[in-house]
Structure 1
């Protein structure tokens, strides 16, 4: 039996973007701003201190010209944006190996390259999985290696994700590490600004509901990941993280009571973000040095 021809595959058969290198200085202002977002009255790191895991997401930001944004707020063009029609983007997960912690105040070089491209059949049609690998270095040494998994679809999904939101019941967990989070519009706005994220699902409710089929504003996937890592930073501040992985499973929405929870054992920590309606919006695992 002949397999059906892929609709997305031909668009990326000859897509082989070159690696991209750039540099940035890990200045203190973004760390102070992210610290405030998580409720800290003082910056969690000063010059020379270790940058908390994945807080390098506050650097190497792209600010395209306004006319270079698509209708959804994402950039129209970029070195690792696949050339598929009516592209829709979703952040799926990633991994990070920390060979040597990045430190505040360092000037860091990043080299990013396309790692893998895979077409898969999902419930609502074909999906394109793109993994981008980035190496971060300082003074000629590779300090950190990260892989991010991004999922793309072509066109709008007809299968709209419209759960019944529970905005009054806080979630419960028997796990010892806990951090409650209830995103409001100011939190989503501040995180979008800190990460140069102009995707309209995070601040434009009519667009999120009418165009992308969500019941409300969507909480940023990276914010859920960083909330899980706050459990490690707050409860094991002296332990070095050697590696981590995370997966984004189900969207969370504005006004929902969320709880990042987890536990440590045998040199590692496992974490999740849950709500009253979903046990796992996101999951993560950390391995300590």
Structure 2
């Protein structure tokens, strides 16, 4: 009896050790997507009133947990029943990301800034009226984007544990899903509250705290503006990267171009390293504009019923 219990405990310890090792490998492989996920989500929840930032981040985090609750069993099912479906579904998600990126760029270019105090006041009143709708749209958009990024994380993780047993796959996918969600939205919550921390420190008596607080207050808007740009660029990079990896012709072209760039004297290593990223960015932009044109054509021929 005692020996059986010890053997069981030893088996459990071995399984946990294997799961921890595979989770570590999967975390390393998904680190790039994690960075894009962080930038995208910090950008998605920007523009929210200070006292509503954390509730909005929490709303998006809950949506992210639901996304992964759907994606993990779905990915496991597809990998068993129809593994060939994973790549096309990812491409559709990548195209949608590129489309959203183009829409954001066009919206930012066409957005009119108020020229007079009256226009600014009217815009502020309108924002106050539509605050609840604005928050709901922000959360919905962020959760929608998170779904695609979460799908990529799940697929990368699934590829890492392709040869593992079914229970190990479930365990690793569950661990990665929880860690990624807590990690991303914990960091997003910290980022959006930097200005509040700066304000608190600037009101302290110690001169060092005041200086740090003023520095954080000055840094916060720059960081959010930077994340807004990086988040939009990340849409094209992630979307373009998904399409590139799913289409062998494009993937081989990217690799061949990077290899050729590395042959350039002196700067070859640097240019070769950034070439795939630049190609993914260009591919994401082109794909986004093509989808935008397609959506426009569909809306023109099949307009929504009024």
- TM-score w.r.t. the length of structure 2 is 0.23
* TM-score of the two chains, using structure 1 as the length reference: 0.24
Q: Which has the higher helix share?
A: 2
Instruction: Say which structure is richer in strand.
Output: 1
